[in-house]
Amino acid sequence: MNTATRDYATALSHIEGVTSSENDLTANLANTAAILKTLPGYFWVGFYLVKGDELVLGPFQGPVACTRIARGNGVCGTVWAEGKSRLVPDVHTFPGHIACNAASLSEVVVPVFDKSGTVAMVLDVDSDRPADFNSDDLHALEKVARILTGKIS
Ligand code: SME
């Protein structure tokens, strides 16, 4: 996938637009997932929210997914534990990768922090093509995460 075909500028401005006048977090996460799902190659996109000692599935677009992930487990649990984004070109080489769907071959996961700097959720994007994401995708998704930080009360 040539990321030149992923128009993040438009997606970001759309996300800014729909979240600017809405303060309900679930509504904002749901619309954000819907906007991102329109990008080429986005097989699954959604949020896992920190609830106690687990991540729990939140708003998403794509096939049915795992509902709970422990801290430190898989890509999502690792991003939560480390507070750092991860680009995974080949999910099969990531130790402990959680295969919610066998079709997912590459993924990118970014943390979404609350205003105090604690990870409140992670944003997970999966592709059914290998090595489908690069640092442009990662940086654009980190911008999405920053917009959402502003919407977490
Ligand atoms: N693959 C993720 C789990 C979430 S699903 O892909 C939707 C992981 O290893 O954390």
What pLDDT score does 4 carry?
53
Q: How far is the CA of 21 from the centre of ligand 1 (A)?
A: 31
| pLDDT digit string, tens, across residues 79-94 | 999 999 999 999 999 9
Q: Are strands 86-88 and 106-113 parallel, antiparallel or unpaired?
A: antiparallel
Q: Give me the amino acid identity at 86.
A: R
Average pLDDT, the chain: 95
What pLDDT score does 43 carry?
96
What pLDDT score does 136 carry?
96
State phi, psi for 19 to the nearest 5 degrees: -90, -20
Q: Going by CA atoms, what residue is nearest to atom 5 of ligand 1?
A: 100
| pLDDT digit string, tens, across residues 103-142 | 999 999 999 999 999 999 999 999 999 999 999 999 999 9
Q: How far is the CA of 14 from the centre of ligand 1 (A)?
A: 26
Spatial strand order in the sheet of 86-88: 68-70, 54-61, 44-51, 119-127, 106-113, 86-88
Determine the CATH number of domain 3-149: 3.30.450.40
Residue 70 has pLDDT above 70, yes or no: yes
For the chain, give every domain's residue range: 3-149
Q: Going by CA atoms, what residue is nearest to atom 1 of ligand 1?
A: 98
Q: Which residues line ligand 1 (CB under 6 A)?
A: 44, 65-66, 69, 74-76, 97-98, 100, 104, 107, 124, 126
| pLDDT digit string, tens, across residues 17-56 | 999 999 999 999 999 999 999 999 999 999 999 999 999 9
Q: Give the helix/strand (H/E) hosting 69.
A: strand 68-70
